[in-house]
Structure 1
Amino acid sequence: MASDQGTVRVDSWIWSVRLTKTRSLAASACRAGHVRVNGERVKPAHAVRPGDEVRLRHAGRERIVVISRLVRKRVGAAVAAECFVDNSPPPPAREDILAVGHRDRGAGRPTKRERRDLERLRGH
C-alpha cells in the first residue's frame, strides 16, 4: 500500500491522497495544465518523489502540497493527511465569495439598466 522509495505517477498520487475525487479528474487536471510539480506543468504520467512540491488548481482554489510519502493505492483520509504537508492558503470565507447576479426563472430578459448592473456586479 505505501511506498517510501521510487516514484509514482502524479495523477495517481493526487487521487490516492484524496485531492481529487477520481483519477480521471486528476488526469484531466494535468492535461489542462492545472497541475505543476516543482513549478513545471506536467502530464499525468509524470513521476513524483518525496520532497516534490505539487500545485493543483481544483474546485476554485489552489492547493500547494509537499509530498512526504508516496502511496500507490487510494488510502483513508487519516493516512492521506500524513502523506503530504499542506502549504495551501486558507480557503476564502463564504461571506467573502462574491454573489453572482441571479435572475428569477421566468423574469424575462433583463432591461438595459439591469444588464449594466449585472455586469458591474460581475466586474466587467
Structure 2
Amino acid sequence: MDNVRIDKWLWAARFFKTRSLATDAVDTGRVKLGGDRIKPARVVRVGDKLTIDNGSDAWEVIVVDISDKRGGAPVARGLYDETEASIVKRENDAQARKIYREPASTIKGRPTKRDRRQLGRASE
C-alpha cells in the first residue's frame, strides 16, 4: 500500500470528517507539503512533512505510516507524528480560546430586537 492519495490519507488519519472536505482543503491550499501547495491526487510517502489547517486547528505532522482505510482514533493517531512546535502552538491557541472567547459565539442565528439593543448598549 505505497500509493495512497493525500486526500484519502488525510481522511483516514481523521483530520477531516469526509474525503470531500479533505479534497477541498488540499485544493484551497490549507494542506501543504514542505511549505508547497499540492494537488489532491499527490501520493503521500512516509517521512513527508505536512502542514494541515482544518479550520479549527493547525497541525504540523510527519507521515509515519500509510493507510487508505479509516479506522478508530488510536489507529489514526499511529499514522503520523506531530512536531513539538505544533503541539505547543495548538495548546497555546486552545488556552487563548478559553481565556478570550469570541464575542459573537454566543449569538445563534439572526439577532432579535432585544439582542440588537444589548449589542448597542455594549458598544456605547
Counterpart residue identity of residue 99, structure 2: D
SS at match of 1:65: strand
1:47 is matched with which residue?
43
SS at match of 2:113: coil
SS at match of 1:12: helix
Q: Does structure 1 retain, via aligned residues, the 8 Å contact 2:57–2:90?
A: no
2:123 is matched with which residue?
117
Matched, 1:19 2:15: yes
> Larger % of strand: which?
1
Counterpart residue identity of residue 106, structure 1: K
SS at match of 1:19: coil
After TM superposition, the score normalised by the length of structure 2 is 0.76
Q: Distance in 2 between matches of 1:100 and 1:63?
A: 25
Structure with more relative contact order (C-alpha pairs < 8 Å, separation 6 or more): 1
2:34 is matched with which residue?
38
Calculate percent identity across the aligned residue pairs. Answer: 31
2:99 is matched with which residue?
96
Q: Please report how far the alpha carbon of residue 97 of structure 1 lies from its aligned counterpart in structure 2 after TM superposition.
A: 3.9
Matched, 1:83 2:79: yes
Count how many residue pairs are aligned between Structure 1 and Structure 2: 113
1:60 is matched with which residue?
56
Counterpart residue identity of residue 6, structure 2: V
After TM superposition, the score normalised by the length of structure 1 is 0.76
CA separation of 1:97/1:66 partners in 2, compared to 1, >3 Å: closer, same or farther? farther
> Larger % of helix: which?
2
Q: Distance in 2 between matches of 1:37 and 1:43?
A: 10
1:121 is matched with which residue?
none
Computed over aligned residues only, the root mean square deviation of the Cα atoms, in angstroms, reads 2.6
Unaligned runs of 5+ in 1: 119-124
